[in-house]
Amino acid sequence: MKPDRITLTSQILSMKRCLFFIFCLGCILNAKSQPDFQNSNSAVGKTFKKINDINVFKNYKEEEAVAITDSKEHRNAFYKITDGSRRLVVFTTLTPQGNKILAILDIGKIEKNMRVLLRECRVNGKTDGFVVALVGTKPWKAHFTNVIKAWRVDQIKNTFVDVPTKGIDCLNEEFENED
């Protein structure tokens, strides 16, 4: 006995619905598995004492915190944080309640021969504490000159702005400390 056309059409529609449901479920599960860095800008304006107190950074650890000595009243700082693969730089100001997040820079994943430097970067020989640089560690010398990308904090808009890498170098704090 041959199935009639209506039965086949009904079965095809049921399969399409089932596939569509599976596809939607997969999309939802994939979105839930994405790291919190996608929502990191929702943390701007929040205050913390420990970075992982903020929900979107609960899986992050602080790698480095640096006071920006060029800032007025020395209340600004950079925090470099990581979840083990991605790196973010958080620009903050100190308040009585803790560190208030003003801007977030998502550096992403970096290669082993690269570093994110938060201090002691110079622009045309003049130190600028508001510059963050992604540098290559070769050649290994007193100042890293292989600047791959650089940003500077716009203190009026509280944003990170790309800046040209020409003329930027950053102190290699480990250079003189080698055995």
63/79 Cα distance (integer angstroms)? 8
Q: Give the H or E element holding residue 110.
A: none
Task: Give 15-39 pLDDT, tens digit per residue.
Answer: 555 445 444 444 444 444 344 445 7
Q: Is 98 left (phi over 0), alpha (psi -120 to 50) or beta?
A: left
Residue 106: count other Cβ atoms within 10 Å of its Cβ.
13
Task: Give 35-77 pLDDT, tens digit per residue.
Answer: 444 578 889 999 999 999 999 999 999 999 999 987 666 799 9
97/55 Cα distance (integer angstroms)? 17
Under 8 Å CB-to-CB from 26, ≥6 apart: which residues?
Answer: none
Per-residue pLDDT at 162: 96
Under 8 Å CB-to-CB from 43, ≥6 apart: which residues?
Answer: 54, 56, 57, 90, 101, 104
51/90 Cα distance (integer angstroms)? 10
